[in-house]
Structure 1
Amino acid sequence: MKAYRFRLEPVLGVRKKKEEAMQQELARVQSAYMEEREAAEGLSAAREESCGRLRAVQDPGDDMELDIVDATLYHSYLLRLAREIASQEQLLERLENEVEKAREGVIRARQGRRTLERLKEKQFARFLIESAHAEQKAFDEIGQMRYSRAGHKEGR
């Protein structure tokens, strides 16, 4: 009996490699997203801290005096933080889109691989059935030949 050979095995191998590459790309983009999200959280924390300091210094009951230079510096710093936060939010939105595209790519690659794997399984099952039929046919022929020989010997 001949061995089973899936003719699309090279294509299946390519699809597996493509899926792995897509998974690596997804992991890379997710990692970049997480890093940038942490950076955005750091900027937000810095803004909150600076706003708190500015309020504390501006408190009339506080002994600390706020001169106009310090107020201008705080204000400039807060404006810069606001711009950086807005820029970071845009970057995060872009990275979210990239993560979603990469996730969709992984799903498509996985579906392509699974389709070929199901085809391979079906063809293998068909091969087993055909092999069993061929084997049974061979046994039947052997039995028939033995029966024919036995009948001819007895009939002589």
Structure 2
Amino acid sequence: MKRFQFRLEKVKKVKESREKQKAQELARQMRALELENNRLQNLLKKRTEAFLELDEAQEGSLYSNEILTYCSYINMLNQDIEQQREKIFGIQQNIGRIQLELLEASKGKKILEKLREHQYLQYLLEGYREEQKLLDEMSLITRKFREML
């Protein structure tokens, strides 16, 4: 009996490769999300510190140009924060899309794995049947030989 060969092995390898690629892409996006969240936290911290400095400065004597400088800095931070939130939102959307693609790739791979397993069991069953047929023939020949003696 010839050895088992899954006809869709190349397709299965492609599906496995695609799943691995999507998993790596998801990991990269998750790292990017973490990095961008850290940047957002830093911006929020800077804005809070700027507000605290402005409050402390207002308790003392502060010139109007210094107040304007603080306000423009805070406005700039607000714009940066908004841009950072949009960037994070975009990354989150990418992560959602990649997760769906990874799920589809995993499903395709699992289907092929189950098909391979089923075909392998059929192969083993066929081998068992062939072996049983040979054993039956051998016992028949042995019986006929004994009858002749």
In the alignment, which residue of structure 2 is the partner of 1:43?
43
> How many angstroms does 1:122 deviate by?
1.1
Q: Tell me the distance in 2 between the aligned counterparts of 1:6 and 1:150.
A: 44
> How many angstroms does 1:4 deviate by?
1.0
Can you list the C-alpha shifts for 1:14-45, whole angstroms capped at 9, x where unaligned? 11111111111111111111111111111000
Count of aligned positions: 149
In the alignment, which residue of structure 1 is the partner of 2:126?
130
- Look at both structures and tell me which one has the larger radius of gyration over its CA atoms: 1
Which moves more between the two structures, 101-110 or 141-150?
141-150
Identity %: 28
Unaligned ranges ≥5, structure 1: none
> How many angstroms does 1:13 deviate by?
0.7
Alignment of 1:11-50 (within 5 A): 11-50=11-50
RMSD of aligned Cα (Å): 1.0
In the alignment, which residue of structure 1 is the partner of 2:85?
89
Can you list the C-alpha shifts for 1:82-105, whole angstroms capped at 9, x where unaligned? 111011111111110001111111
Unaligned ranges ≥5, structure 2: none
